[in-house]
Amino acid sequence: MTAVRELWEALPPAVREEVDACVVRRRMVGAVHTVRSSTEGAGTGLHLGMDLVTWRMEVLGDRVEPLPADDLEALTRRARELPGGPPAALRLEWDGDSWGWMLVLTAETTEQDGRLPALAVWREGGGWTEPTATAAALAGRLGVPLHGPGGDGPAGWDG
Protein backbone atom coordinates (compact mmCIF):
# COMPACT_ATOMS: atom_id res chain seq x y z
CA MET A 1 0.00 0.00 0.00
CA THR A 2 2.97 2.28 0.48
CA ALA A 3 3.64 2.40 -3.27
CA VAL A 4 0.00 3.28 -3.92
CA ARG A 5 0.02 6.16 -1.42
CA GLU A 6 3.36 7.43 -2.75
CA LEU A 7 1.99 7.38 -6.29
CA TRP A 8 -1.16 9.22 -5.18
CA GLU A 9 0.87 11.90 -3.41
CA ALA A 10 3.07 12.33 -6.50
CA LEU A 11 0.11 13.00 -8.80
CA PRO A 12 -0.71 16.65 -9.52
CA PRO A 13 -3.94 17.88 -7.87
CA ALA A 14 -5.76 18.18 -11.21
CA VAL A 15 -4.97 14.54 -12.00
CA ARG A 16 -6.15 13.45 -8.55
CA GLU A 17 -9.44 15.27 -9.15
CA GLU A 18 -9.84 13.61 -12.55
CA VAL A 19 -9.11 10.16 -11.11
CA ASP A 20 -11.59 10.67 -8.28
CA ALA A 21 -14.24 11.94 -10.73
CA CYS A 22 -13.81 8.74 -12.77
CA VAL A 23 -13.94 6.54 -9.68
CA VAL A 24 -17.10 8.22 -8.36
CA ARG A 25 -18.79 7.53 -11.73
CA ARG A 26 -17.42 3.92 -11.73
CA ARG A 27 -15.26 4.62 -14.79
CA MET A 28 -12.44 2.39 -13.55
CA VAL A 29 -10.63 1.94 -16.86
CA GLY A 30 -10.71 5.71 -17.42
CA ALA A 31 -9.26 6.27 -13.95
CA VAL A 32 -6.40 3.82 -14.56
CA HIS A 33 -5.76 5.43 -17.95
CA THR A 34 -5.59 8.87 -16.33
CA VAL A 35 -3.07 7.65 -13.76
CA ARG A 36 -0.89 5.92 -16.34
CA SER A 37 -1.05 8.81 -18.84
CA SER A 38 -0.03 11.34 -16.20
CA THR A 39 2.93 9.23 -15.10
CA GLU A 40 4.15 8.32 -18.58
CA GLY A 41 7.86 7.69 -18.48
CA ALA A 42 7.78 7.03 -14.74
CA GLY A 43 7.08 3.36 -15.35
CA THR A 44 3.73 3.16 -13.56
CA GLY A 45 2.56 -0.32 -14.42
CA LEU A 46 -0.98 -1.44 -14.99
CA HIS A 47 -1.20 -3.28 -11.67
CA LEU A 48 -0.04 -0.29 -9.62
CA GLY A 49 -2.56 1.90 -11.45
CA MET A 50 -5.31 -0.62 -10.73
CA ASP A 51 -4.28 -0.85 -7.08
CA LEU A 52 -4.47 2.93 -6.79
CA VAL A 53 -7.95 3.04 -8.36
CA THR A 54 -9.17 0.20 -6.11
CA TRP A 55 -7.83 2.09 -3.07
CA ARG A 56 -9.57 5.29 -4.18
CA MET A 57 -12.81 3.31 -4.57
CA GLU A 58 -12.49 2.28 -0.92
CA VAL A 59 -11.59 5.81 0.23
CA LEU A 60 -14.47 7.43 -1.66
CA GLY A 61 -16.88 4.62 -0.68
CA ASP A 62 -20.17 6.41 -0.03
CA ARG A 63 -19.60 8.94 -2.85
CA VAL A 64 -19.34 6.22 -5.52
CA GLU A 65 -22.47 5.97 -7.70
CA PRO A 66 -24.52 2.95 -6.70
CA LEU A 67 -24.83 0.14 -9.19
CA PRO A 68 -28.19 -0.05 -10.93
CA ALA A 69 -30.63 -2.42 -9.26
CA ASP A 70 -30.45 -5.94 -10.65
CA ASP A 71 -33.55 -7.40 -9.05
CA LEU A 72 -36.30 -8.89 -11.20
CA GLU A 73 -38.60 -5.83 -10.99
CA ALA A 74 -35.87 -3.35 -12.00
CA LEU A 75 -34.66 -5.57 -14.85
CA THR A 76 -38.22 -6.02 -16.11
CA ARG A 77 -38.69 -2.24 -16.25
CA ARG A 78 -35.34 -1.75 -17.98
CA ALA A 79 -36.08 -4.47 -20.55
CA ARG A 80 -39.50 -3.05 -21.39
CA GLU A 81 -38.08 0.47 -21.82
CA LEU A 82 -35.30 -0.42 -24.28
CA PRO A 83 -35.07 2.02 -27.19
CA GLY A 84 -34.92 -0.84 -29.72
CA GLY A 85 -38.25 -2.22 -28.60
CA PRO A 86 -39.00 -5.09 -26.26
CA PRO A 87 -36.47 -7.92 -26.20
CA ALA A 88 -36.89 -10.79 -28.64
CA ALA A 89 -34.40 -12.81 -26.55
CA LEU A 90 -31.98 -12.43 -23.65
CA ARG A 91 -28.34 -13.51 -23.67
CA LEU A 92 -25.96 -14.31 -20.81
CA GLU A 93 -22.25 -14.11 -21.60
CA TRP A 94 -19.10 -14.43 -19.55
CA ASP A 95 -16.70 -11.52 -19.73
CA GLY A 96 -13.62 -10.64 -17.79
CA ASP A 97 -11.38 -7.74 -17.09
CA SER A 98 -8.37 -7.07 -14.90
CA TRP A 99 -10.59 -7.12 -11.81
CA GLY A 100 -12.11 -10.56 -12.50
CA TRP A 101 -14.98 -12.39 -14.13
CA MET A 102 -18.47 -11.04 -14.73
CA LEU A 103 -21.71 -12.32 -16.15
CA VAL A 104 -23.39 -9.89 -18.57
CA LEU A 105 -27.09 -10.01 -19.38
CA THR A 106 -27.95 -8.41 -22.70
CA ALA A 107 -31.17 -8.02 -24.66
CA GLU A 108 -31.64 -8.83 -28.32
CA THR A 109 -34.19 -6.45 -29.78
CA THR A 110 -35.75 -6.26 -33.23
CA GLU A 111 -33.93 -2.97 -33.93
CA GLN A 112 -30.27 -3.85 -33.26
CA ASP A 113 -27.46 -1.59 -34.35
CA GLY A 114 -24.92 -4.36 -33.82
CA ARG A 115 -24.54 -3.73 -30.09
CA LEU A 116 -26.70 -5.53 -27.55
CA PRO A 117 -27.89 -3.31 -24.70
CA ALA A 118 -26.69 -4.56 -21.31
CA LEU A 119 -29.42 -5.00 -18.73
CA ALA A 120 -27.21 -6.18 -15.86
CA VAL A 121 -23.62 -7.03 -15.01
CA TRP A 122 -22.82 -9.32 -12.11
CA ARG A 123 -19.25 -9.57 -10.83
CA GLU A 124 -17.74 -12.61 -9.19
CA GLY A 125 -17.86 -12.71 -5.45
CA GLY A 126 -21.53 -13.31 -4.79
CA GLY A 127 -21.78 -16.56 -6.70
CA TRP A 128 -23.46 -17.21 -10.03
CA THR A 129 -26.62 -19.00 -8.92
CA GLU A 130 -28.69 -15.90 -8.17
CA PRO A 131 -27.76 -14.00 -11.37
CA THR A 132 -28.55 -16.98 -13.61
CA ALA A 133 -31.83 -17.59 -11.77
CA THR A 134 -32.75 -13.90 -12.11
CA ALA A 135 -31.97 -13.96 -15.85
CA ALA A 136 -34.09 -17.10 -16.29
CA ALA A 137 -36.97 -15.55 -14.33
CA LEU A 138 -36.76 -12.38 -16.44
CA ALA A 139 -36.84 -14.39 -19.67
CA GLY A 140 -39.88 -16.27 -18.36
CA ARG A 141 -41.63 -13.08 -17.35
CA LEU A 142 -40.97 -11.50 -20.76
CA GLY A 143 -41.82 -14.71 -22.64
CA VAL A 144 -38.51 -14.77 -24.53
CA PRO A 145 -35.71 -17.35 -24.79
CA LEU A 146 -32.55 -17.04 -22.71
CA HIS A 147 -29.34 -17.97 -24.54
CA GLY A 148 -25.93 -18.44 -23.02
CA PRO A 149 -23.87 -20.42 -20.57
CA GLY A 150 -24.93 -22.06 -17.37
CA GLY A 151 -24.05 -20.72 -13.96
CA ASP A 152 -21.04 -22.87 -13.17
CA GLY A 153 -18.58 -20.17 -14.19
CA PRO A 154 -16.56 -19.41 -17.29
CA ALA A 155 -14.24 -21.99 -18.85
CA GLY A 156 -11.10 -22.13 -16.78
CA TRP A 157 -12.76 -20.40 -13.83
CA ASP A 158 -11.39 -21.82 -10.62
CA GLY A 159 -13.94 -20.31 -8.21
> What is the tens place of the pLDDT at every residue in 55-90?
999 999 999 988 777 899 999 999 988 887 789 899
pLDDT of residue 113: 61
Please tell me the pTM assigned to this model: 0.66
pLDDT tens-digit series, residues 26-36: 888 899 999 98
Say which residues have a Cβ less than 8 Å from residue 129's Cβ, sequence separation at least 6: 151
Mean predicted confidence (pLDDT) in 122-147: 88
Rounded CA separation 1/34 (Å): 19
Would you state the pLDDT for residue 159? 41
- Is residue 79 helix, strand or coil? helix
The least confident of 48-52, 147-151, 153-157 is: 153-157
In this prediction, residues 141-146 reach a mean pLDDT of 94
Element (H, E) at 29: helix 28-38
Reported as a single tens digit per residue, the pLDDT across 86-133 is: 898 999 988 877 777 888 898 888 766 656 778 888 887 777 888 889
What is the distance between the alpha carbons of residues 121 and 8, in angstroms, rounded to a whole number?
Answer: 29
Axis-axis angle for helices 13-24, 46-60 (nearest 10): 70
142 closest CA partner among 90, 91, 105, 93 = 90
